[in-house]
Each structure stands twice: as C-alpha cells, then as structure tokens.
Amino acid sequence: MTLPHPAADRTFQVDLRGLVDLLSHHLYSSPRVYLRELMQNAVDALTARHTLEPDAPTGAFGVRLYADGAVVRVEDDGVGLTEADVHSFLATIGRSSKRADRIAEQRGDFIGQFGIGLLSCFLVADEIHVLSRSARTPDAPAVEWRGRGDGSYSVRTLPASARPRPGTTVTLTPRADAGEWTRPAQVHALARHFGSLLRHPLTFDDGTAGPGAPGTSVNPEPAPWARTYPTPGARSRALAAYGEEVFGFTPLDTVELDLPAVGLKGIACVLPETVPAGRRHGHRVHVKGMLLSEQAEEILPDWAFFVRCVVDAESLRPTASREALYEDDTLAAVRDALAEKLRAWIARAAASDPDLLHRFLQAHHLAVKSLAVHDDEILRMLLPWLPFETTDGHTTLDEFARTHRTVLVTSSVEEFRQVAAIASAAGLGVVNGGYTYDRELVHRLPEIRPEATVADLDPATLTAHLDPVDRETELAAAAYLAQARDALAVFDCDVALRTFQPASAPALLVDSREARHERTRSQLAREQEGGLWGDILGALRQEAPRAQLILNQLNPLVRTAVAIDEPELARTSAEALYGQAAMLSRRPLRPAESSLINRSFLDLLAHALRKDS
Ligand SMILES: Nc1ncnc2c1ncn2[C@@H]1O[C@H](COP(=O)(O)OP(=O)(O)OP(=O)(O)O)[C@@H](O)[C@H]1O
C-alpha cells in the first residue's frame, strides 16, 4: 500500500506590478505621494538616529533633495541600514523596522509603520536604488540595493568609502511618463508642500549650482507658532498671515491651538463668510511636521464648520494612505480638546470683544444656532446675542426681552407675517419662530434670563388684544357679516368685526397652521363621505379650529364696506378683503383662493367702471 504524499508547504507569490497598480489606483490620490513617502522615511530615519545618539544637537542631521530632470534623489543622515536590514525591511513588502518588537514602545515616534511606503516610488520609476550605511554598526560596509518593478532585487556591499557617513540615499530614474511629478521645479514645490513644517533641516538642489552646492532650504524657519515674536500683536498678525497664505482668505480671527498632552500645535482660522450648510471644509494636518492631509475632517466635530485649521501633531496616527487619520482614542481626545478651544474662543469673544462677536455672528449665526440647540454651554454664552426677526425688527433676544416682559413666539413664518403689524401696534412683542431652530431657542431664553417669560403666540392671545365693537355697530354690521360668512364658508372661515391698530390694516386673517391642517382633513372627509375614514375625519372636523377673518372697524374702507346694501357687492368686497389678508400673510395661496382674488378684483373693477359710466 502506498501512502499519499504529504501536501507540500508553499510560499505566497506576490505580483508586484499588481500590487503597485492597486496602490496607485486605490490607496494614493496621486503619483506625487512618492516624494512624501521618501521624505517621510528619511525623517523616520533621522528620528531613529537621534534616539541612537541622544546627545547630537538638533539640526545636526538633515535631509537633502536633488532633482535635475534626469534623477530624483533623497539623501538623509538617518540611522541607515545594514545588509541584514536591507533584506529584512527593504526587500520584504509589508515589513517595517518601525513595528519591530524592540521598538514597539517607540512606535509613536515614527510616521511610517506599514512597510509599503517605498512601493509608491514605482508610481514614477521602474527601479529604486538605495545606498545606505548603518549608524548602529559603524564598521559595517555600505550596502546597495536595487529593487525593480518586476519584483526582482539585488543587494551588494560596497567599501565604506562609497558612503563615508551613515545615512541613506534613495535615487530614482523617473519613467518618461512621470515627468510631471519629477521635474526639478515640481520636486521643489512638492518638497515645500509636504515638508515646510518639518523640524529637521531640509534642502533642495536642482543641480544648476554645481556639485557640492549647499541647496536651498525648504523649511528655513520653524512653524509660525513655534517662532518667537516681539509682541503678542506681532504674533497674532503673523499667525493670521500664515492662515491667509495657506487657505487663501483673511481670517475673521485666528485661534491658537496648543494641546501639550498630544503634542499638537496649530491655528484655527475663523472663516469670514457664511459657509453653506452641509459644506464641510477639511483641515490641514501635519504629523511630526510632515503634511499628511489637506482635507482631514476628523479632527473637529461637525458643528465647527466655521473654522479651518492647520495643525501639527506628534501622536496622531495616519492610515496607510497617509491621507486620513485613524479613528482611535487619541483622535477622539484631540477632537474634544480642539472643540473645547473653540468654545473658549467663543466665550472670550462673548465676554470681552463685542465687535468680534458681532462680526462672527453676522457670518455664522445659523451655525451657532444649530450648535446652541445641542450645546448648553454655547446656548448660555450666545443665546442673548443671537439675532432674531421680531416685531421690533432684527434684534438680539437680550435686547428684545428687555423691552418685552413676555416674549411671544410664532410657530411659522406666515403666522409671523400675519400678525406682526397688529401685534406690535397692540404692544405685543413677537419673535418669528418659523425658521429652523428659532422657536426652540427662544423657548430656552428663561434658562439664562429667568426673569423673561416666553409663550407661543396662539390666535386667542392676539384676538384678546382686539377690542370688540359696541353693540350698535355690531348690529348695524350684522347683515354684512352674515353675507361675508356665507361668501367665505368654502374656506371654513368665520368673519368678525373688531377694532385694532394700525387703523390702516383693513383685515387680519387668523389662520394658524394647525387650523389649515385641520381644514385639509375636513375637506378630505367631505370628499370621502360615507366610508369609515370619512367618519373619522368628520369627527375630527367637529373640533377643527376655523380660520377667522377679523375686519377692522377703525379702517375707513371696512366702515364703508359694512354699510353696503347691494348683496353682490357685499360678497365681492368680503372676498376681496379675505384675499388681501391671505396675500399679506405671504403663505402659498390655494388654487381656490387665487381664483377668488382674481374674480373679486375683476368684479370690483367692473363695478367701479359701471359706476363711472
Ligand atoms: N531612508 C531610510 N533610512 C533607513 N531605513 C529606511 C529608509 N527608507 C526605508 N527604510 C526601511 O525600509 C522599511 C520599509 O520602508 P517603507 O517606506 O516601505 O515602510 P515604512 O516606512 O516602514 O511604513 P509605511 O508603509 O507606513 O511608510 C522601513 O521600515 C525602514 O526600515
């Protein structure tokens, strides 16, 4: 009997071209990231070297970029690689020295960790050439590695003289189709873009100044928040100018951000103009100086869409694409802490800079209102200063509550339009609660101004301020009112006669939203007469609040109208008064109302012309 052969263990094969294709189409946003990855490896190598030689002065080790159109070279004075390191880290995809156990505790010191960044060089070149010398084993020879896009690589050692000092030089010979990303001017621009805040010396050389030339500094100055300034004013002007340079707008104010616990520094620029709701701007996030993302949204909560930030953090963790941040506890803590800073800025403006607060609210009151609804602290600080539409015009709640002991609030814009003139003539203070958040916010005023009373404005409150007419006038108008009721019965509208100010207003249509809603139901009930649904809706109809057309006895036109003895003309005038009052409310008219307005206008015109002829 023959035993089956045991299954042989095999090793996965990697199709490097397929992998690079995957990275370029799905991980990286543009081939330009190759330079960021190389700079980042160089920076990580410098970090490791400083750990190895803690006494070396800052700035002792640097990074030099070179691009002359034929090659792109990134040279660093970092920790370097031994031959074993080269096999282990450069030639093994997915393996990173920055994740090895012995330095696990230092993981946070490095930007890279996945062991794939180097592959991004294949986006612009077919071969990566690395020449390195380890600072850990100074006697080791220099080592040369050539990695090719087809997945093959070669390693050889060279005499120490090939690279007299520790460090690593990566050289790429760009493919013809990658010229856009590798020409000298572009490399210089990308170096500034990604590396302007790096803390190690970084230079660029395009080869024109000849061999050995020192190159131009890419980051000659520390980050603007890390510099010293003669006065606080000079500091804030410099930070604002930096914000303007980065974002292209003059910030309304610049908020300095500093969270020592996570090694984060930066600025938040307050946008000078309203941001359309729903539009979210990203923030610029640097990690250890290296620009990671220009569109990071995760570092601030949604409500903070009135600022754009530039931050540089020590301990945020980039994802493999580097263009986003890991949603971890540190990020959550950073988000909370930054939100706190913005709250503190708002509080300071509210307490001590009324002009700034005013300009801020002018641009962002909608954002602040949406924020105040869910945030008690913002509510407490800012509610008194927020602008509302009121019967005294556009004013702050604080101001309004000072002149009106009871603040009345409508539940719709139309209601406000209907009653504003009459309510203010009657001395009532009404706020338009029809806009998003407004009614809810006004109702919370007593939480911070306990002496203020807030109530919903219902039609009854207003009608209570309309004075009844005397019996005699009522009687004299009875016939007219009956005709008017009859004419307007189709709209479920009652008609009454009162006196109220202003005398110029002939009529008021009290027609709350609920009343209209009820009427739609009762109309439905009429249409569905007989069925169960009809019965239910019919029962509801019993309690349906009716609209009320209140004629103003003080108005000269109304006085003439109630004395009309021609029945047709009386009906038409009632319809015209209803139509005018409905139009004044600026609510959308129903088709029946539009045709009523049309008809009554033509009837009145015909009547006037007849009279004249
Ligand atoms: N300039 C350099 N100096 C020293 N070692 C380097 C350098 N560049 C690359 N290496 C070594 O090669 C390894 C792989 O680099 P690679 O950029 O692919 O990944 P990584 O930086 O570890 O992680 P990530 O994929 O997150 O960038 C690194 O972990 C490091 O050990």
ipTM of the complex: 0.97
Place of tokens 């930054």: 338
Q: What is the mean pLDDT of the chain?
A: 87
Q: Cβ distance 322 to 33 under 8 Å?
A: yes
**pLDDT exceeds cutoff 80 at 589:** yes
Q: Give me the mean pLDDT over the 515-543 stretch.
A: 50
Which string of DSSP letters, residue by residue, matches 75-108?
EE-S----HHHIIIIISSTT--GGGSGGGGGGGG
Distance (angstroms) between ligand 1 centre and the Cα of 119 equals: 10
- The two three-digit tokens of residue 418, written as one number: 């209907």
- The two three-digit tokens of residue 334, written as one number: 């950073």
**CATH class of the 386-463 domain in this structure:** alpha beta
What is the distance between the alpha carbons of residues 511 and 496, in angstroms, rounded to a whole number? Answer: 13
Tell me which fold the domain 234-357 belongs to: Ribosomal Protein S5; domain 2 (3.30.230)
CA distances from 22 to 18, 29, 314, 321, 563 (A): 6, 12, 29, 12, 87
Query: Which of 187, 143, 147 shows the shortest CA–CA distance to 167?
Result: 143
pLDDT, tens only, 152-200:
899 999 998 889 999 999 999 999 999 999 999 999 999 999 999 999 9
Q: Give me the mean pLDDT over the 253-270 stretch.
A: 94
pLDDT, tens only, 476-493:
999 999 999 999 998 889
What is the distance between the alpha carbons of residues 320 and 290, in angstroms, rounded to a whole number? Answer: 15
SS3 385: helix
**pLDDT exceeds cutoff 60 at 529:** no
Q: Which of the residue ranges 318-327, 507-516, 525-534 would you say has the lowest mean pLDDT?
A: 525-534
pLDDT attached to residue 100: 53
Distance (angstroms) between ligand 1 centre and the Cα of 473 equals: 96
pLDDT attached to residue 271: 94
Spell out the domain ranges in the chain: 16-217, 234-357, 386-463, 467-612
Q: Give me the mean pLDDT over the 253-264 stretch.
A: 92
Q: Which residue has its alpha carbon closest to ligand 1 atom 21?
A: 112
- The two three-digit tokens of residue 205, written as one number: 């050389």
Q: Ligand 1, from 96, 163, 172: best to mutate by most atoms within 8 Å of Cβ?
A: 96
Residue 109 pLDDT class (50, 70, 90 cuts): confident
Distance (angstroms) between ligand 1 centre and the Cα of 67 equals: 21
Q: Cβ distance 240 to 250 under 8 Å?
A: yes
* Ligand 1 lined by 41 (C-beta under 6 Å): yes
Q: Cβ distance 73 to 169 under 8 Å?
A: yes
What is the distance between the alpha carbons of residues 231 and 600, in angstroms, rounded to a whole number? Answer: 73
Question: Given phi > 0 = left and psi -120 to 50 = alpha, else beta, which region is 155?
Answer: beta
What percent of the chain lies above the pLDDT cut of 70? 91
Give the CATH superfamily of 16-217: Histidine kinase-like ATPase, C-terminal domain (3.30.565.10)
What is the distance between the alpha carbons of residues 334 and 19, in angstroms, rounded to a whole number? Answer: 34
* Ligand 1 lined by 167 (C-beta under 6 Å): no
Whether domain 467-612 has CATH 1.20.120.790: the reply is yes
**pLDDT exceeds cutoff 50 at 140:** yes
Distance (angstroms) between ligand 1 centre and the Cα of 149 equals: 17
* Ligand 1 lined by 23 (C-beta under 6 Å): no
pLDDT attached to residue 467: 86
Q: Cβ distance 572 to 604 under 8 Å?
A: yes
Q: Ligand 1, from 88, 118, 129, 322: best to mutate by most atoms within 8 Å of Cβ?
A: 118
